[in-house]
Amino acid sequence: MTRRFTAAILAVGFAGLTAFAVPFGFTWETTVSLAPDGGTLVDGFQSIVAIDYTESGFTGTSYSEFHAFGFLWQEFGAEGRIGFLDLSADVLFGPSTSEYLYAQLIAEIELGALGFGCYYAQLSDAVLGGVADGFALRMAGAVGALDVVSITEFGTRIADEDFDGIEIVHTASGFSRSYVTDPVVAGQGFTGQKVTVSGLSIGCVEEIETTLYLTCGGFEFLSFELAGIDTGIPWLTFDLEIAFEVQTKTVSVTPGLVIAEALCVTPLFGILPASGGFSLDGIVLGGFDLTYSWNGVTLRDVTILAPGRYAITTPEYGSVIETIADAVEDGHDFYADYWELLSLEIDGEACCGGRYALLLNTYFEEGAGGIFGWGMTYFEGSIGIGSATRLNLALTLDPGGLEELAIGFGFDW
Amino acid sequence: MERRVRWAILCALGVGLALGLTACTGFWNTAVQLPKLIVGPVVVTGTEGYVLISVADMPDGGIASIQFGTVGDEAITFTGIDETSIVSEGKNGFVVPAEDYATNPGKGSLIATNCPTGVLGGEILKVTFTVTGGNPTFVVDETKVTMADDSNEWITVWELDDSAEYHTR
């Protein structure tokens, strides 16, 4: 009850900041999705309103996201500096369920070569995995060529190479919001200590990094990462990671190929490790990305030669080739079925200070019945009407017909 | 200056090590997070509906295969949904090699697998359909669900959640 009351006070405070906003920025993006082939004409609706307000070096923000099923997210934030102290705060609410969900407060200070940070977060019981709260203290500094980072956890982890932070997901829709500070338990004292030392370089190894992690359960892991091991073969390098856990020792060897920079064709080579032992089966050309840009026009041909291992990410994630394992690990959406993408992108100036941007992506699918194995075409366009307003259009065509049509507008002030 | 920095880092390391060794004595207890299978509510727009099925806190390697019962012993029961319209789409690398919603009315089973990698947390399935009634339901019986991880080992300890409005990953 007290937590919710505190959160409500914070929310009203942040809302008040934005209400008296001078100067403030305002962005409003609205999209209506239509499904012409389905039984329902209007398939989806999304409207995002973002307001920011700056006063005396502090910026207050408000982010509101609406969908057809309701008011999904309301986030308030603040960021600024007091003396040498950098502060940022975020509070997230789920208005459709009238719930306070999450809050984080980050304070950072730099004193010469030393940087200190305090990260506090709280997850409410409205989220599966809550209640949880706690804080983490981060200290970073350099001793000679070595960089040392120490993180002391009191029920909270912060995003870094080993941890992802927290992503709060709306179960029904899958929409999510991500934050750096991840509270993992409730009301705990010390829960973990991690020390990372990096920056050491020796003759044949580009960089050595070691990490020791202890938790309230005891020793968690000790890892050594050796990046860019020179093999003496100009086109071949290795990354070596040795991780000691309580009952296991893991050795990972990641071979890499050094390819000269190409003008417009970027090949994606990978090395096929043998199924057992430390030997290699061969080199695989996973695909290539041919790109040519001229005067605001970009043509691309992205081809996957090893489907099942590689995939093309969606336009939201750059339409690049990634291994499926990496895409899943990094949370990137990808097309599992398409092996080739032809893309045309045009960017230019529209009238009255606005800009236009067009993207036409055509995908080809193995075994598809369409002409040349055509699987799907995606088009999105945005045209500025003046510098503050733009109209947006997106459509998806597949062999079954017009799959999706979305129209919308954006407004900046 | 560098000497001070060195001392500060050494002190921090010492404090961290002491706290870590204290932790090793087992005074502190961390709540155990069980792997979770999360079945979302039925979302309806007009006559079309869908259900998202996600996982969270899966063990090392992540979930790589899941079976929702078998034909004749289905794990899924549904009402107010046209069974001929049901399509299951794999997410995050999952594919659906087999599914059945028509053999026994109102009941369904499916298998989903992920060959390239396991999923620690995130959506694994989206089930779309046409609704026929006012309050369609889509229920999973956890006793008939089996899953395995990326190392092809059974994930035996997990819990089903079909009521959470929000979850983390």
- According to DSSP, residue B119 is labeled B
Q: What pLDDT is attached to residue A233?
A: 75
H or E stretch including B23? helix B2-24
A and B: number of Cβ contacts within 8 A: 181
Do A215 and B17 lie within an 8 Å CB cutoff? no
Do A184 and B36 lie within an 8 Å CB cutoff? no
Collapsed DSSP state (helix, strand, coil) of residue B151: coil
Q: Which residues of B touch A304 (CB under 8 A)?
A: none
Per the structure, how many domains does chain B have?
A: 2
Nearest to A380 by CA among A401, A399, A397, A400: A397
H or E stretch including A44? strand A42-55
Q: What pLDDT is attached to residue B117?
A: 85
Q: Does A314 touch chain B (CB under 8 A)?
A: no
Strand order in the sheet with A127-128: A127-128, B166-168, A166-170, A176-179
Nearest to B86 by CA among B114, B37, B51, B121: B51
Same domain, B145 and B124: yes
Q: Which residues of A touch B93 (CB under 8 A)?
A: 324-325, 327-328, 336
Same domain, B146 and B105: yes
**Are the C-beta atoms of residues B166 and A170 closer than 8 Å to each other?**
yes
Same domain, B100 and B141: yes
| Residue A151 bridge partners (DSSP) | A138, A194
Same domain, B102 and B142: yes
Write the burial class of residue A268 (CB in 10 Å: 0-12 exposed, 13-18 middle, 19+ buried): buried
Q: Does any domain span residue B101? A: yes
**Are the C-beta atoms of residues A270 and A284 closer than 8 Å to each other?**
yes
**Are the C-beta atoms of residues A169 and B168 closer than 8 Å to each other?**
yes
Q: Does B117 touch chain A (CB under 8 A)?
A: yes
Q: Does any domain span residue B51? A: yes
The string of pLDDT tens digits covering residues B24-61 is 444 444 455 789 999 999 998 878 899 999 999 898 78
CA–CA separation, B21 and B23 (whole Å): 5
Nearest to A203 by CA among A229, A240, A241, A242: A229
Nearest to A90 by CA among A121, A128, A50: A121
User: Helices in A253-356 by DSSP H: which ranges?
Assistant: 324-330
**Are the C-beta atoms of residues A158 and A165 closer than 8 Å to each other?**
yes
How many Cβ atoms sit within 10 Å of the Cβ of residue B12? Answer: 20
* Strand duo A374-385 + B63-70: pairing: unpaired
The domain spans of chain A are 260-413
Residue A413 half-sphere exposure, CB side, CA atoms within 13 Å? 12
H or E stretch including B10? helix B2-24
Q: Does any domain span residue B167? A: no
Q: Which residue has the tokens 């069980």?
A: B34
CATH of the domain at B109: 2.60.40.680
Q: Does A144 touch chain B (CB under 8 A)?
A: yes
Write the burial class of residue A391 (CB in 10 Å: 0-12 exposed, 13-18 middle, 19+ buried): middle
Do A113 and B45 lie within an 8 Å CB cutoff? no
Could you tell me how many residues make up chain B? 169
Smallest CA–CA distance from B117 into chain A, residue = A325
Collapsed DSSP state (helix, strand, coil) of residue B14: helix
pTM for this prediction: 0.81
Q: What pLDDT is attached to residue B6?
A: 64
Pick from B30, B41, B90: CB nearest A216: B30
Same domain, B116 and B77: yes
Pick from A143, A216, A323: CB nearest B23: A216
How many Cβ atoms sit within 10 Å of the Cβ of residue A349? Answer: 11
Smallest CA–CA distance from A95 into chain B, residue = B165
**Are the C-beta atoms of residues B84 and B108 closer than 8 Å to each other?**
no
Q: Which residues of B touch A36 (CB under 8 A)?
A: none
Q: Does B52 touch chain A (CB under 8 A)?
A: yes
Amino acid identity at B167: H
Q: Does B16 touch chain A (CB under 8 A)?
A: yes
How many Cβ atoms sit within 10 Å of the Cβ of residue A293? Answer: 12
Do A127 and B19 lie within an 8 Å CB cutoff? no
| Residue A378 bridge partners (DSSP) | A361, A396
Q: Which residues of A touch B23 (CB under 8 A)?
A: 190-193, 214-218
Same domain, B10 and B67: no
Nearest to B87 by CA among B123, B141, B45, B125: B125
**Are the C-beta atoms of residues B125 and B39 closer than 8 Å to each other?**
no
Pick from B56, B161, B165: CB nearest A97: B165
User: Helices in A121-253 by DSSP H: which ranges?
Assistant: none
Do B22 and A218 lie within an 8 Å CB cutoff? no
Q: What pLDDT is attached to residue A330?
A: 83
Q: Containing domain of residue B8, as a range?
A: 1-30
CA–CA separation, A412 and A388 (whole Å): 5
Pick from A113, A127, A150: CB nearest B13: A150
Q: What pLDDT is attached to residue B76?
A: 95
Question: Which whole-number Å values give the CA distances from B2 to A142, A199, B7, in the listed order?
Answer: 9, 17, 9
Average pLDDT along chain B = 85
Do A112 and B5 lie within an 8 Å CB cutoff? yes
Smallest CA–CA distance from B39 into chain A, residue = A171
Q: Does any domain span residue B169? A: no
Spell out the per-residue pLDDT of chain A, length 413, in tens: 444 444 444 444 454 444 444 578 899 999 998 877 656 667 788 999 999 998 888 899 999 999 988 899 999 999 999 888 999 999 999 988 889 999 999 999 998 888 999 999 999 999 988 788 999 999 999 888 889 999 999 989 999 888 889 999 999 999 999 999 999 877 677 888 999 999 888 778 888 899 999 887 788 889 988 888 877 777 777 788 888 887 777 777 776 766 665 556 677 777 666 655 556 666 777 788 888 888 889 999 999 988 878 899 999 898 988 888 888 888 888 988 899 999 999 998 877 777 889 999 999 988 766 677 888 999 999 998 877 888 999 998 888 888 888 999 988 88
Amino acid identity at B6: R
* Token duo for residue A135: 């804080």
Chain A residues 76-115 with CB within 8 Å of chain B: 94, 97, 99, 101, 112-114
- According to DSSP, residue A317 is labeled G
Same domain, B93 and B139: yes
Same domain, B9 and B71: no
Smallest CA–CA distance from A218 into chain B, residue = B24
Could you tell me how many residues make up chain A? 413
Do B30 and A101 lie within an 8 Å CB cutoff? no
CA–CA separation, B78 and B30 (whole Å): 38
Do A152 and B6 lie within an 8 Å CB cutoff? no
Q: Does any domain span residue B42? A: yes
Chain A residues 342-401 with CB within 8 Å of chain B: none
Q: Which residues make Cβ contacts (< 8 Å) with residue B59, sequence separation at least 6?
A: B35, B149, B155
Do B169 and A169 lie within an 8 Å CB cutoff? yes
Smallest CA–CA distance, residue B16 to chain A, in Å, is 6
CA–CA separation, B105 and A18 (whole Å): 54
CA–CA separation, A341 and A343 (whole Å): 6
CA–CA separation, A272 and A52 (whole Å): 49
Give yes or no for a cis peptide into A131 (omega within 30° of 0): yes
Q: Does any domain span residue B99? A: yes
**Are the C-beta atoms of residues B26 and B151 closer than 8 Å to each other?**
no
Same domain, B86 and B126: yes
**Are the C-beta atoms of residues A20 and A42 closer than 8 Å to each other?**
no
Q: Which residues of A touch B1 (CB under 8 A)?
A: 112-113
